[in-house]
Structure 1
C-alpha cells in the first residue's frame, strides 16, 4: 500500500511539472537594443564656396589720377580644407582662391623732379589666394576660430590673419562668416617713387560640404 501511495505522488509531481512547463512565462520581455546616437565631430575634409565684400588700403594714394572710386567691391571664390577635433579644440588647414572686383586702376601722366614726363597705367590683381592654419573651440555644432597664414596674388606675396564663426546645420552642411586682413608685398615699379604694397580687408560668408562627419 505504501509503495502504491509513493508511486501515485511521484506520478502527480511529474504531471504537475509538465503542465507548468506548458504555461506562458511571467518574466518580462527583454528591452529592445537601441543604438547610441553618434557624437558630432568637426574632424574631416570639406569643400565649399564663399562670397562677400573687400576693401583696399592701397599705398598708391599719391597718384591723384588713379581711380580712387574702385577701392572696394565684391569678392567670391572657393575653399578646401581639413579639420581635426581633439576634445573641444579644433585645428585645421584651409586654402582658398578668390575673385576680387576691387583695387586701383587708371592711367597717370605727370612730371618727375627732373622734368621727365612719366606715363603709365596702374593695374591691380583681380584675384588672390590664401593658405591658412585654423584653430578654435567647438561648442557642439558651433565653432569659433582664429586663422592666419600665407597670402598671394600675381607677383605679390604676403600674409593674412583673421577669424570667424562656423555652424553645422546638418551632419554634412555648415555655414560660416569670416573676416580677414591681407597684406601683400609686390615688386616696386622701376622709375617711380612709390611702392606696390597693398593691404585690404575681407568680410565673407561661406557654405561648406563636410565629408565623413561621423
Structure 2
C-alpha cells in the first residue's frame, strides 16, 4: 500500500507540474492574465481521464479509466480554506489475469488551501466499484464497497473553467465470486491517477 501511494503521488506531481508552471508564468508576466474567480464557492461539473492499477486474485490489473464528476465547494470570504464534497463515476478498463474492474465511483469530502488561481486539497470517503472474475469460461460480477483517500491540485483558468490533477488510493474490500471449485473471496485495492477539467457555475 505504501509503495502504491508513493508511486501515485509521484505521478500526481508529474501531472501537476504544467499547472504550476502556468501559474508561475502568469505571475511573472510571461502569459496574459485571464479573469480570476472571486472564490472557489459553488457547484461544478467536469470530466476526467487517467490510469488505474492495483492487485486482485494474485494478479495486478491495470488500465485506462475515464468519467464524470460533480461537486460543491464552500469558501468563507477572506479565508484560504476551501471545504467541499464531490462524487464521480468512471468507466474502467482496469484488467489483468482473471480479474477486471468494470466501473469505479466515489463520494468524498474535500478540504483544501487556495492561493489565487491555485487550490491544493486532500480528499477521502466512500468508494464503490464492480469487479468481474472469469476463470475457464465461468464469469461473474460483484459490486463492492470500500474507502478512498487521496490528494489533488486544481488551477483556475478563468472565472468558470479549471484544470486539475488527482491521485486516489482505493480499497474496495472483498466480495465472494463463484468459481469452478466453489466460492472465492477476492479483494481489490489500487491507485488512480487522473487529470480533468471542471466548469464552475
TM score, norm. by length of structure 2: 0.70
Of 46, 49, 62 in structure 2, the residue corresponding to residue 48 of structure 1 is 46
The 2-side partners of 1:38 and 1:139 are apart by: 11
Aligned twin of 1:100 = 92
RMSD: 2.0
Alpha-carbon contact 1:151-1:184 (below 8 Å) kept = yes
Taking a change above 3 Å as real, the CA distance of residues 39 and 196 of structure 1, as seen in their structure-2 partners, is closer
Aligned twin of 1:134 = 110
- 1:195 matched to 2:185? The reply is yes
- CA drift of 1:194 comes to 5.0
Aligned twin of 1:28 = none
1:104-158 deviations in whole A, cap 9, x for unaligned?
Answer: 354xxxxxxxxxxxxxxxx433101000000010001110100000001132000
Alpha-carbon contact 1:40-1:141 (below 8 Å) kept = no
- 1:144 matched to 2:120? The reply is yes
Aligned twin of 1:85 = 75
Select the structure of larger CA radius of gyration: 1
The structure where strand makes up a greater share of residues is 2
Alpha-carbon contact 1:147-1:162 (below 8 Å) kept = yes
Give the secondary-structure state (helix, strand or coil) at the position aligned to 2:189. strand
**Segment drifting more, 185-194 vs 74-83:** 185-194
Which residues of structure 2 form unaligned runs of 5+? Answer: 1-34, 131-142
Alpha-carbon contact 1:166-1:176 (below 8 Å) kept = yes
The 2-side partners of 1:89 and 1:152 are apart by: 28
Aligned residue pairs total 151
- 1:76 matched to 2:74? The reply is no
Aligned twin of 1:114 = none
The 2-side partners of 1:153 and 1:52 are apart by: 16
Aligned positions of 1:1-214 closer than 5 A: 40-58=38-56, 60-61=57-58, 68=59, 71-86=61-76, 87-106=79-98, 123-154=99-130, 155-189=143-177, 192=182, 195-211=185-201
Taking a change above 3 Å as real, the CA distance of residues 198 and 38 of structure 1, as seen in their structure-2 partners, is closer
Alpha-carbon contact 1:143-1:166 (below 8 Å) kept = yes
TM score, norm. by length of structure 1: 0.66
The 2-side partners of 1:51 and 1:39 are apart by: 25
- CA drift of 1:189 comes to 3.3
The 2-side partners of 1:192 and 1:105 are apart by: 19
